[in-house]
Amino acid sequence: MNDLTRLFWNEHFKSETRGKLSKMGKKIYDWLNEDNFNGFGLDNKVFWVELVCTTSRLPSSIYRYIIKWAKLKGYKYLYD
């Protein structure tokens, strides 16, 4: 697991943060809990999202959130 994946997972899935999450945070928590997310592909500071399989779904609201979140952490999205 790379550093970006670990950071995302810890910020959004730790059980002790569940009660403190925003509405979007709860959507992400639920999405992660469905085992859709494999992690981030990472090459230096360039990232992309890897899902578990081709049938995994990534809602557009979570997709936009992930891109924004990672950019705030100093990473660049591969497809920008």
Pair 77, 71: CB distance under 8 Å: yes
On the CB side of 3, CA atoms within 13 Å amount to 8
Reading the block at residue 60, the tokens are 């557009």
pLDDT band at 48 (very low <50, low <70, confident <90, very high): very high
Alpha-carbon Rg of the chain, whole angstroms?
Answer: 12
Whether the pTM exceeds 0.95: the reply is no
Q: Which residues pair with 40 in a beta bridge?
A: 49
- Determine the 3-state secondary structure of 43 from DSSP: strand
Amino acid at 26: K
Residue 15 has pLDDT above 60, yes or no: no
Report d(CA 56, CA 74) in Å as an integer. 27
pLDDT band at 80 (very low <50, low <70, confident <90, very high): confident
**pLDDT value at residue 51:** 93
